[in-house]
């Protein structure tokens, strides 16, 4: 089975009924990895033939509502569906500490059906380093420049193809390193806000890193054409906004 990187939504903080907040999935022969969980995946993964019960890993880029708000419902509904095997949650240590405090507030621990949760907070800094080697895929992370501790990602598959994801961040050298010569860079394009990037900055990062294609995410679903037009002014390669449910073979 060829590993695939899926876009499950590309909206910025304000989602729409058609376009969910930005998040991704990785499918491999070993199961499913979710990158951020803005809403319960049981609601929409089946639309694309994906089953949340196959989730083996969750990777949270940072602890902001539009990236983590669906996690407790995912965990509860997996339990209610009879899960007994462990699930591993990855992310920056401060983000995972917040998630664990949040689950305590929801009385997760005493629930009799709770299956084991494993917490993997690798000590990541601005130098990209591998955080997961699983299902033929290697995931690298580096610390970004956002309002809270945040990981950017690079995912390398057995074919040699790689995708990179900026998460939420201002332009920074660690992101350039994660994206170096990637097949596709999924870059946030929120706009001119602290700890974020404009479409033109996303294009400039794509150009510096020498990626083959740029996909703008974390954008206003009502202004995608304008964002693409701005990014094309700084990146010579193809620029698009991904479609929810679109997948790339790794």
Rounded to whole angstroms, the Cα distance separating 109 from 241 reads 40
36 is a site residue for Zn ion (CB under 5 A): no
156 is a site residue for Zn ion (CB under 5 A): no
Out of 36, 40, 156, 168, the only residue in the binding site for Zn ion (CB under 5 A) is 168
Left, alpha or beta for 36 (phi > 0: left; psi -120 to 50: alpha)? left
Contact region for Zn ion (CB under 5 A) — 31-39, 81-89, 168-176, 227-235?
Answer: 168-176
Q: How many residues bind Zn ion (CB under 5 A)?
A: 2
Q: Which three-class secondary structure state does DSSP give residue 141?
A: strand
196 is a site residue for Zn ion (CB under 5 A): no
Contact region for Zn ion (CB under 5 A) — 33-41, 61-69, 70-78, 151-159?
Answer: 61-69
- Measured over the CA atoms of residue 219, residue 245, residue 44 and residue 164, the dihedral's sign is negative
64 is a site residue for Zn ion (CB under 5 A): yes
Place of tokens 């990777």: 59
Rounded to whole angstroms, the Cα distance separating 45 from 27 reads 12
Q: Is the separation of the CB atoms in 201 and 22 below 8 Å? A: no
Place of tokens 């058609």: 18
Instruction: State the first-to-last Cα distance of the chain, in angstroms, to the nearest integer.
Output: 10
Question: Considering the complex, what minimum distance in angstroms separates the CB of residue 62 from Zn ion?
Answer: 6
- Complex with Zn ion: residue 162 or 170, whichever CB lies closer: 170
- Complex with Zn ion: residue 64 or 98, whichever CB lies closer: 64
Contact region for Zn ion (CB under 5 A) — 36-44, 64-72, 151-159, 237-245?
Answer: 64-72
218 is a site residue for Zn ion (CB under 5 A): no
Q: Which residues bind Zn ion (CB under 5 A)?
A: 64, 168
């Amino acid at each position: 089975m060829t590993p695939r990187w899926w876009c499950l939504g590309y909206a910025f903080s304000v989602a729409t009924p058609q376009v969910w907040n930005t998040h991704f999935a990785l499918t491999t022969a070993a199961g499913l990895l979710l990158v951020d969980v803005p809403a319960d995946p049981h609601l929409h993964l089946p639309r694309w033939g994906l089953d949340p019960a196959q989730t083996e890993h969750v990777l949270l880029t940072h602890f902001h509502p539009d990236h983590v708000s669906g996690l407790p419902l995912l965990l509860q509904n997996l339990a209610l569906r009879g899960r007994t095997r462990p699930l591993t949650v990855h992310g920056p240590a401060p983000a995972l500490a917040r998630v664990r405090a949040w689950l305590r507030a929801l009385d997760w621990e005493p629930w009799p059906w709770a299956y084991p949760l494993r917490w993997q907070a690798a000590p990541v800094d601005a130098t990209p380093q591998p955080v997961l080697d699983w299902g033929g895929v290697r995931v690298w992370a580096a610390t970004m420049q956002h309002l809270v501790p945040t990981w950017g990602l690079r995912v390398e598959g057995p074919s040699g193809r790689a995708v990179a994801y900026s998460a939420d961040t201002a332009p920074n050298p660690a992101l350039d390193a994660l994206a170096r010569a990637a097949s596709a860079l999924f870059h946030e394009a929120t706009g001119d806000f602290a700890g974020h990037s404009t479409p033109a900055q996303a294009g400039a990062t794509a150009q510096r890193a020498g990626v083959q294609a740029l996909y703008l995410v974390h954008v206003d679903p009502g202004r995608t054409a304008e964002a693409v037009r701005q990014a094309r002014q700084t990146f010579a390669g193809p620029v698009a906004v991904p479609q929810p449910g679109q997948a790339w073979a790794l």
